[in-house]
Structure 1
Amino acid sequence: MRLTHVGGPTLLIEVAGWRILTDPTFDPPGRRYDFGWGTGSRKVAGPALQPAELLPVDVVLLTHDHHADNLDDAGRAFLPSVPVVVTTASGGRRLGARGLAPWETTVLSAPGRPDVEVTATPARHGPPLSRPVAGDVVGFSLRWEGQDDGVLWISGDTVPFAGLREVAERLRVDVAVLHLGGVRFPVTGPLRYSMTGRQAARLTAQLDARVVVPVHYEGWSHFVQDRPAVERELAQAPDDVWRRFRWLPMGEPVEVGHQEVPPALGTVL
């Protein structure tokens, strides 16, 4: 499996002959975007790679289409160049894409390549009762032939809630891609809209994932926790938790292969 972090939530996944891109965001920095209900953010860093450098892309996995930090204008313009887009059920109706509710599955098929089973997983993009405001979001589980060590799981923008415990119970996760940043907005005070480093450590313990790849912690002004802030909280976790985190260099492909990890996790934060 080869992963390339393009920036923000945008990750190129190359596996079993497939090129799969998550949440395309390609706008240059500088502009402020309105997220609705008095919230918004300014993009402060551009992508490490441009759309033309990533083609061909077989599939886009879009955790949600209604926030520009997950699908900006250039990302939206990129979608017609991709044969398959998989997103939320409501986003599927808006975009004319394959829409999935949590725990629904679609299969990616192409000649000469193994099928990839894509299952939407639960996500909640904010505190309890925030779904009518924050909108629908999903994560994605990817499984393909010969993948014996567990699934590749992408969390999507989410905070800890019962749905993530269900993910840990139902899936054997080998590689977890976690959307972090600890998002907060002045208008809603201390309420969080994505995971912190401390919460990511707890979730890693629940999942017992072999490798954890952080994304979506930089590039926008509404992120409260950048990489150093996440690492400070991870440093308080047991060694066999924080050692699983793999920070990818921007724009450079990285092979995520087997590496030794403890057979079981100890106490968590």
Structure 2
Amino acid sequence: MEINITHIDTACVLLEINGYKILTDPTLDGAGGTYYHGFGAFSSKTSSPAVAESELEDVDLIILSHHQHKDNFDIKGKAFAFKNGNIISTKAAAKEMDGVKGLDDWESFEVKTDRLKNLKITATPAQHRPWWIPEFVSGKVIGFIIEFDGQENGVIYISGDTVYFDGLVEVAKQFKIDVGIFHVGSVQFRYLTGLGMYTMDAKGLLKAAGLMKPRLVIPIHREGWTHFKEKESDLELIIKDDTHFRDKTLFLESGVKTRI
């Protein structure tokens, strides 16, 4: 079983599993725009996609952790998703957008394909906010478990935008994780909620990885927007100082297909 991953932009990666192509959180706008994310939160995009949209036209499935924030689902990303169809996301996304299969936490959906036997996508809980902020402010977010026949060392886990919280403990209890793809970046809107984080920083990533014990850790959603407050260089230094996970962590080079 050959599995390849290509980082495109922010939390957007292309997973190619035995030829079946899964795209996550489509962000396809170029750098330079300023976007409103709701409840007074603004930020600007500082990165551009490393892969041309024309190279993604044969994507088979799109999994979208949430639809309400532009750093996970921007203007061109949204247009691309609806053009290609076959989208799995939250129940909230399904209510607002036609053609989306919405999942609640722990709900699964079996995807029919001849290229990947018994492919199943399961939604996992995520907390995209500091603990003192109510969920309606940031909106519902999910992560994903990707399962299919032939996974000898465990499943693929994608965290979605989340901080470290008790829901991750439940993920670790229910699944053996082979590859963990974690959204980091230490998202903060300091003029609104101070130092409260909306995604993990390096310390949160190491705590989650220590809990789940994946064979391979892949940090994404780590640069590209002005509301990401942990520098990528600082993230890499903290990971390299960790004797357990420094050799298990893969920092993807954007636009480069990498076998995992």
Q: TM-score, normalised by structure 1?
A: 0.92
Alignment equivalent of 2:244, drawn from 240, 250, 259? 240
For the structure 1 residues 189 and 101, does the alpha-carbon distance in structure 2 shift closer, same or farther, using more than 3 Å as the test? same
Aligned partner of 2:201 in structure 1 is 196
Q: Which of the numbers 219, 223, 238 marks the counterpart of 1:218?
A: 223
- What is residue 62 of structure 1 aligned with on the other side? 64
Check conservation: 2:125, 2:143, Cα contact below 8 A: yes
Choose which of 116, 120, 136 in structure 1 pairs with 2:140.
136
Count of residues paired in the alignment: 255
Q: Which runs of no fewer than 5 residues in structure 2 stay unpaired?
A: none
CA distance in 1, matches of 2:171, 2:241: 24
Of 128-137 and 106-115, the range deviating more from structure 2: 106-115
* Aligned residue in 1 for 2:160: 156
Q: Which runs of 4+ in 1 moved over 6 A?
A: none
Identity %: 35
Q: Which of 4, 7, 20 in structure 1 is aligned with 2:6?
A: 4
For structure 1, the residue ranges without an aligned partner over 5 or more in a row are 257-269
Provide the C-alpha distance between the structure 2 equivalents of 1:209 and 1:112, rounded to a whole number of angstroms.
25
Paired AA for residue 136 in structure 2: P
Q: Secondary structure at the match of 1:107?
A: strand
In the alignment, does 2:122 pair up with 1:127? no
One-letter amino acid of the counterpart of residue 121, structure 2: V
Alpha-carbon deviations, 1:11-39, whole Å to 9, x = none? 00000231000000011111100111121
Shift of 1:115: 2.7
2:155 corresponds to which letter in structure 1?
A: V
Q: Which moved more, 1:137-146 or 1:49-58?
A: 49-58
**Corresponding residue for 1:78?**
80
Quote the residue 1:87 is aligned against.
89
Q: CA deviation at 1:133?
A: 0.2
Structure-2 separation of matches of 1:95 and 1:177: 26
**Post-superposition shift, 1:81?**
2.9
CA contact (8 A) 1:201 1:242 kept: no
User: Structure 2 counterpart of 1:202, which letter?
Assistant: K
Equivalent residue number for residue 262 of structure 1: none
Contact 1:16 1:114 in 2 (8 A): no
Q: Would you say the 8 A contact 1:158–1:195 is kept in 2?
A: yes
2:102 maps to which residue?
99
Counterpart of 1:233 in 2: which secondary structure?
Answer: helix
The CA deviation at 1:112 is 4.6
Q: Which residue of 1 aligns with 2:37?
A: 35
TM-score (norm 2): 0.95
CA contact (8 A) 2:164 2:207 kept: no
- The CA RMSD measured in Å over matched residues stands at 1.1
Aligned residue identity for 1:203: A
Per the alignment, residue 266 of structure 1 pairs with none
Partner of 2:256: 252
| Secondary structure of residue in 2 paired with 1:132 | helix
